[in-house]
Amino acid sequence: MIEWLTLLKEDAVPARPPSRRSRPSRRKAGPVIPKTVKPTGKPFIVICGECYEEVVFEPREGVKEIYCGECDHGAHAPSEEWLRKWTYYKGLETKYAILGALCGVAMVVIAIIWTLLLTYPENWEWNPLNYVFAVVEGALLVAVCYFGYMHEKNRYEAYF
């Protein structure tokens, strides 16, 4: 019995040595914000932390502080990195809002078409055409919910 076990051990294939060690990922957690963002040309809207009034901030060279017109609360002007991040998140917020609105409009248009098709008595039965409209309406509803969630998730408001 022992001789048989030693033969099995000799026939066993040796384990392959690892070819490379795994390295930790160099990628930082969070979204990848591009280094260069096109200037929007629009003023930034920041919110006063004391009176919650919206203050319009236009980034210019030499502006070191911003002040609220209502309560004279002041703070340092946002840095270039913060403005880049703000532009990135506002772009995402706008993109998801537009996509959600388009899906909502498509959902209403499909519902109107479906209703118009149901005015004919031969379409009153539950046939494959009704299944198609029901599935498309459901998919558009899911898309509207998803884009609404992503819009709210990417909101980026600034308080000073």
d(CA 136, CA 111): 10
Which range of residues forms the domain containing residue 69? 43-78
User: Considering the chain, what is the average pLDDT of its residues?
Assistant: 77
| Higher pLDDT pick, 100 / 80 | 100
Q: Is there a single domain that holds both residue 101 and residue 128?
A: yes
Q: Is there a single domain that holds both residue 114 and residue 141?
A: yes
pTM higher than 0.85 for the full model? Answer: no
Is residue 67 helix, strand or coil? strand
Residue 56 β-bridge partners: 45
Extract the tokens encoding 153: 């998730």
By C-alpha distance, which of 137, 151, 84 is closest to 108? 137
For 22-70, how does the pLDDT look when each residue is reduced to its tens digit (9 = 90+)? 666 565 555 666 665 555 567 778 888 788 888 887 776 667 788 887 8
Q: Is there a single domain that holds both residue 105 and residue 135?
A: yes
Q: Is there a single domain that holds both residue 109 and residue 145?
A: yes
Q: Is there a single domain that holds both residue 107 and residue 140?
A: yes
The verdict on residue 36 lying in a domain is no
The verdict on residue 11 lying in a domain is no
Q: Is there a single domain that holds both residue 99 and residue 61?
A: no
The verdict on residue 127 lying in a domain is yes
The verdict on residue 24 lying in a domain is no
The verdict on residue 15 lying in a domain is no
The verdict on residue 66 lying in a domain is yes
